Every structure is written in structure tokens, then in C-alpha cells.
A and B are shown apart, each in its own frame.
Chain A
Amino acid sequence: MNSSDWEERVALHAGGDLPPAEAAEVERHLRECAACQVFASGLKQSLALLKEAHHEPLAPAHFSAVRARVVAELEQERRRGALWARRLAWSFGLAAAVAALLVMLALRPGRTPERRAPVVAANHPPVVVARVSAAPPPARHRVAWRVARPIVPDTPAPEPLIVKLQTDDPNVVIYWIADRKRGE
């Protein structure tokens, strides 16, 4: 075993980190080796000095400062948490109010379009009979309509035919303009 190996084992022995058999071997070596005795003595002294310095008490203010900082941080976290909870509650409340308002607007009476008879806006009556389908349209803006063939009096002036069609949707009005041949 070289000196480096002994150094390592003596260092472990100085702190009581060797199993009994190895410790006994190191102690035997120390009895015979003066250099290792000095080395072991230096190790023990240095460890004792470190422990002594380590266990000197710190001023209580250093500990209380840490505690105060931790508690302050936790309280701040709590306040932040409470603030977020309040904001969340407000957001949910606001969303519920908006939803309720939208539902009310959608269901309010008068919103449902009245079914009206078609209006013919020809410049000379009576030109058009238009019918809006009795059944409701399959989709909101789809119009199901049918225009009866216009009965046109025998007039000499072939003026264009304008048909105004009112659909189920009050916002949608269709104008149908058609040229007429003489005699139509």
C-alpha cells in the first residue's frame, strides 16, 4: 500500500468512517509510521477547528430575518390568490350577465317576424300575386317562395314588371324586375 492509499484511509479514520477491521489496520499502521501520525494529528486538529467554528451560534436576527421574509412572501401569495379568486368571480358573474342579456334579447316578443302577405310594387296594378310559403323556411335566411305567373291586362305599353317579394325574414326583401313583351 503506498502513502496515498494510507493518506486516504487515515483521512477516513480521522472522522470515524472506516469499518472496524480497516480501522484496526490503520491504527496498527499509525503506531509504526511517524509521518502518518503527524498527518492524522493534523487532520483531527483541522476537523476539530472546523466543527468549533461551525457550531458558533449565529445572531438570532439572521434567522428572524429569513422567517419574516418567508412569511411576508407567503402572505403576499395569499393576497395574490385572493385577488385572482375575486377577479375570477367577477369574470364569471359578468359572463353570466351577458349570457342572460343575450338570451333575453333573443326571446323578446316582437322579435319573431310576422308573416305578411307579399306586396306587389308594380307601377300599375294588379300585376303580381306572390306567395310566401306557408311552412317556415328550413334555415333562417333561406327563402322558399313561389311566384304565380302574373296576370297582365292587355295594355299597349310594355313597361317592366316589378315584383316586390316579402320573405319570412323582415330584413330580406326581393325585387324581381322583368321586361315584358308586348301583349303580355
Chain B
Amino acid sequence: MKALALLATVGPMDGSVEAAEAGDLTAFDRLMRQYERLVLVTALRLLGDLEDAQDASQEVFLRLYRNLNKVETSGNLSAWLYRVTVNVCHDARRKRRVSALVEDAAELPALTADPQRTAIATERRRALEMSLRMLSEKERAVLVLRDLEGLSTEEVARALGTTEATVRSQLSKARVKVRDFLERYFRRRT
């Protein structure tokens, strides 16, 4: 978790941004590989649907390419990407179709071959996605960035364009809702 957060705060160190800005698509591909997990997984948690998350990720990376000069000077690429991902997902949620949540978890193929572990992993994903669906859009964004992506309260506030006090308030509500939901969810299953 800490390692992931640290990874997110360091910038690209191989000159990919400069090369991509000069029009080198291979360099931009390298840059995308560095940040694809950050963008796609965050979008997936915010949207709850893999296809929508891929669409959102595509949009985020296209915006990145078109704004490479601004991003380079701003210095913190991961913060920029989190902010844009949240905004793009917000727009996507307003436009998108109503999709069935429960099937979403099953869409993602498990990487393990062990059927029992696969079943547990699928169950966990389903619980995660359903509990996130219980939250308001702002609560979900706060919980995803703070608890799942491991950003600091200050970074979350910056990414969402709000105050730390608001982040803390939404965070506590979100955690309580998730806890209540998961308790009910697993009680019903057992």
C-alpha cells in the first residue's frame, strides 16, 4: 500500500514526458505503462464497470497527451492523473447507461487457476463493488483515493478540489456505510 502510494508520487524518470511531448508515441506508450494501473483501477472503482473504466482511461490518456506541456511544468503527474480520472469518471457517470452491477465482478477474469481461490477473489470483488455502489459519488471518490489508492487527506482534497475537513467528513461517512453494508452482506451469505 505504502509502496503503491510512493510509486504514484514519483514522476516518470526516463524522459518519457519530454519525448512524448516531441511526438514520440513509443515514449508515450512507456508513459502509459507507468500510470495505467493508477488510471484504470481508479476508474474501475469509481465507475464499477470495466468497459466504462477502459473508456474513461482512454480519455484520460488522450487528455494527458494533449496536455503534456502543462503536466510537465506542473511536476506531479500522478496528482494530475488522479484529478483528471475523477473528473472524467464524473462525466462518464452522468452519461452512461444503467448497468447491472452484480455481473461486473464476474466480468473480470481471475488470474489464479485455483477454483476455490478464484471463487473467494470473485466474492471479494463483488463485495467491494457493491459496497462502493452504496456510496454517493463524492463519498466513493474520497474512499477510493484515500483508502484504496492510499493518497493522503491533503492529496485527496487537492484531487477533488475540496477541503481536508470535507474529505474527512465524507470519509468517515463512507467508512461507516461500507462497514454496515459488508456486515449485512456477509451475514446474509453465511
The contact size tier of chain B is 35 or more
**B33 located at the interface, meaning its Cβ lies under 8 Å from any Cβ of chain A in the complex:** yes
Quick one: CB contact mask for A1-45 with B, threshold 8 Å, 1 for yes? Answer: 000000111011011010000000000000000000001001101
**A52 located at the interface, meaning its Cβ lies under 8 Å from any Cβ of chain B in the complex:** yes
Task: Out of B37, B58, B110, B171, name the residue touching A12 (CB < 8 Å).
Answer: B171
CB under 8 Å from chain B, chain A span 138-164: none
Chain B neighbourhood of A8, CB < 8 A: 169, 172-173, 176
Chain A neighbourhood of B153, CB < 8 A: 17
Complex Cα distance A42/B128, Å?
Answer: 15
Interface majority SS on A: helix, strand, loop or mixed? helix
**B160 located at the interface, meaning its Cβ lies under 8 Å from any Cβ of chain A in the complex:** no
Is B50 within 8 A of A71, CB to CB? no
Q: How many residue pairs bridge A and B at CB < 8 Å? A: 123
Chain B neighbourhood of A107, CB < 8 A: none
Q: A residues engaging B (CB < 8 A)?
A: 7-9, 11-12, 14-15, 17, 39, 42-43, 45-47, 49-59, 62-63, 65-67, 69-71, 73-75
Q: B residues engaging A (CB < 8 A)?
A: 1, 4, 25, 28-29, 32-33, 36-37, 39-41, 44-45, 50, 54, 57-58, 61-62, 65, 108-111, 121, 124-125, 127-128, 131, 143, 146-148, 153, 168-169, 171-173, 175-176, 178-179, 182-183
Extra 12 A-B pairs, beta carbons < 8 Å, given A12-B168, A49-B124: A8-B169, A8-B176, A46-B175, A51-B147, A55-B1, A63-B37, A63-B40, A65-B54, A67-B32, A70-B61, A70-B62, A71-B28
